Structure 1
């Protein structure tokens, strides 16, 4: 008996792609790691010792309060940096795109290994008509994702370099401030010495005038 013409044939359309995971994959995790390292280096550059050296008077008289301000400043800096980084990742959908890049690279690597095992010298490409619109779109998007990742890595590296230069600038300015304070203390010492000498001279001058006046009075009485 012939099969019914109503029997459905398997659809040639490919199955829908699996949803992209929101959990950071290898590249997204590495991006988080690079950011955390750069932020940690920035916070280490703003150590309490460097911070206190810019405020010697509060550091000498109210060190506990100054340290509390320093901790709040670092905490606010860390919180703001992480919030801005998270906002950028969300706006650019960086985690999803990097995860998709991981998937595409993994599939390409698997095909290459499969071709090597089969002894094929040329790549076996999937027929375009068997791919869904999303797969075609992502295949064209992969070079852009790679370029975006390279650009982001360059920006992170540039930020790290700028942070190191900023730390060096802060250190140089701290040394200049210490030199100016040392010169100011020397000038204050000279002024205090000059004031002491002027006071001593004034006292001796008054004593000399008193002695002359007493001598004139004695001479005047003797003359009488």
Structure 2
């Protein structure tokens, strides 16, 4: 009786926390998608190892025993496909990938259900701006990724905007300098045309003066000859 009084029964003891539900080993959505992606990649790899490419590496057997070479090629591709699939399955088992990805599916599903329930109930805390504050662990991976990446992208965008603004200012100054140089060139060309016109006028005047000077010399010579005849 004393032992029964001093020792509480099992029913009076606090029960231990319930065990976590076992993680299903049946491939879930993410495991299925991973297997599909791997199968597609393997199929593309095998297609790249076509018989034409394989035969190009062995031209002599391809010419003399093409059937045998094609049989070797088929066996090689089959062995490669079998080995690749076996290694992939071994990696899934070693890394416990099926259980881990199924657990991720479960967590994401719970987070989405919790978020939808909070949105439906209209509850949740509000932040300083009056918006609803959502716990980070309830967000899906893509939103968490954007939340971490957005500040860095905004900072990079601000730096790039500053560089673009500086470049635009430099381009504007360069355009103004080019326009000023173009105006100066046009002014110099106009002055050069004036100088050329003056030189051409001077050359014409010099030519005319030279003709008149020759006529004067001829007239003076004729006067001297007339004077010499009259004196005789």
TM-score of the pair, normalised by structure 1 = 0.49
Which one has a bigger Cα radius of gyration?
2
TM-score of the pair, normalised by structure 2 = 0.48
1 or 2 for the larger relative contact order (CA 8 Å, sep ≥6)?
1
